[in-house]
C-alpha cells in the first residue's frame, strides 16, 4: 500500500489529469451506461450517484451486481471536505476500499447538480498508465511459489531448532558419556542456523506474499540478505571457537590451522560490516528522495 501511494504521489499530476479527461470523455449518462463503462475500463470498480442534498439516488453498480441497500441514504459525511476543481471534479487521496480491500481512489464529477462517484482500483490504473508492471496470473504463481518455499524453509528451521534442543537435553542426561564442548557447540550451531533460516523464511513471506513490493527496492532485499548473513557469520564464529578449543585441548600443533580459520572469519566479519554500512547509506539516500 505504501509503495503504491508513493508511486501515485510521484505521478499525481499526470494520473489526476488522465482521470479528469477520462470522466469528461465518458458517456454523460453515467448510470445508464455504467455496464459499458465498467466493461471498457477495468480499473473502475463501481459507480453510483448522489444528489445535491447528498442522498444516494442510484444503486451502487459493480461489474457483477447492483447494490440497492443504500438507496436514499445520507452521504453528507463523504462530502464535508469536497472541493470541486474548475472541471467540476474531485479526486480523493488513496485509501483501502471497503469492498475489494485494494488500494483505491475515488473520483467525483458534478453534472446538473448530481454527483457521480467512481471508485478506481489504483493498482490497475497505474498498470494501465504503465507506471507499474503488474500481472495478476504471474503474481498468483509467484505468491504460490514463495509461500511454499517460505513454509518449507520454516519447517527446516524448526527441525534444526528441535535438533539443537534434542542434542542439549541428550547432553544433560548423558553428561559422562559425551564430549561436552563438541555437543554443546553443535546444539548452539543448530539452533543459530535454525533461527537464521526461520528469519529468512519470515522475511520472504512478509515481503513477497503479505506485503508485496511493486518497486522492488534493492535496499530492502539487501537488508533481508544482510540479516541472514549476520546469522550465518555468527554460526561460523561459534564453529571456529569450537575448533580452536578442540585443537587447544587435543593437538596444539595444529593451532596454525585454527589461526587461519580465525583470520577467514574475521575477513567475513569485515566484509559483512562494509556490506551493512553500504545498505544503511543506501537506505538514507532513499529516505531523502
- What's the pLDDT score for residue 289? 47
Among 145, 48, 37, smallest CA distance to 106 is for 48
- State the pLDDT confidence band at 224, using cuts at 50, 70 and 90: low
pTM for this entry: 0.52
Least confident of 113-117, 153-157, 212-216, 235-239: 212-216
CB 168 within 8 A of CB 146: no
CA dihedral 58, 61, 67, 68 (to 10 degrees): 10
Q: Which CATH fold topology does 2-128 show?
A: Beta-Lactamase (3.30.450)
C-alpha 124/C-alpha 104 separation (Å) is 9
Q: What residue ranges in 7-101 does DSSP mark as E strands?
A: 44-51, 60-61, 66-67, 89-91, 95-96
**101 or 281, greater pLDDT:** 101
- Which residues belong to CATH 3.30.450.20 in the chain? 2-128
**Cα three-residue angle 182-250-183, rounded to 5 degrees:** 5
Amino acid at each position: 500500500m505504501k509503495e503504491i501511494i508513493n508511486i501515485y504521489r510521484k505521478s499525481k499530476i499526470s494520473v489526476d489529469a488522465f482521470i479528469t479527461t477520462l470522466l469528461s470523455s465518458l458517456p454523460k449518462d453515467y448510470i445508464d451506461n455504467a455496464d459499458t463503462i465498467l466493461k471498457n475500463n477495468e480499473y473502475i470498480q463501481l459507480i453510483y450517484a448522489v444528489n445535491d442534498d447528498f442522498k444516494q439516488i442510484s444503486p451502487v453498480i459493480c461489474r457483477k451486481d447492483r447494490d440497492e441497500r443504500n438507496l436514499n441514504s445520507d452521504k453528507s459525511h463523504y462530502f464535508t471536505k469536497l472541493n470541486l476543481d474548475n472541471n467540476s471534479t474531485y479526486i480523493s487521496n488513496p485509501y483501502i476500499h471497503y469492498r475489494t480491500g485494494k488500494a483505491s481512489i475515488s473520483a467525483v464529477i458534478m453534472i446538473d447538480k448530481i454527483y457521480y462517484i467512481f471508485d478506481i482500483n489504483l493498482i490497475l490504473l497505474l498498470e494501465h498508465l504503465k507506471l507499474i508492471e503488474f500481472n495478476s496470473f504471474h503474481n498468483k504463481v509467484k505468491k504460490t511459489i514463495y509461500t511454499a518455499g517460505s513454509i518449507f524453509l520454516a519447517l527446516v528451521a524448526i527441525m534444526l531448532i528441535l535438533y539443537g534442543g534434542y542434542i542439549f537435553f541428550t547432553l544433560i542426561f548423558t553428561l559422562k558419556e559425551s564430549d561436552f564442548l563438541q555437543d554443546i557447540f553443535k546444539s548452539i550451531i543448530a539452533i543459530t542456523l535454525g533461527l537464521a533460516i526461520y528469519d529468512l523464511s519470515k522475511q520472504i513471506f512478509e515481503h513477497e506474499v503479505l506485503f508485496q513490493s511493486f518497486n522492488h527496492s534493492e535496499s530492502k532485499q539487501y537488508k533481508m540478505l544482510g540479516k541472514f548473513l549476520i546469522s550465518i557469520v555468527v554460526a561460523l564464529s561459534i564453529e571456529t571457537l569450537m575448533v580452536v578449543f578442540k585443537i587447544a585441548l587435543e593437538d596444539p600443533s595444529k593451532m596454525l590451522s585454527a589461526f587461519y580459520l580465525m583470520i577467514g572469519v574475521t575477513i567475513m566479519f569485515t566484509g559483512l560490516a562494509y556490506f551493512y554500512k553500504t545498505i544503511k547509506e543506501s537506505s538514507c539516500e532513499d529516505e531523502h528522495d
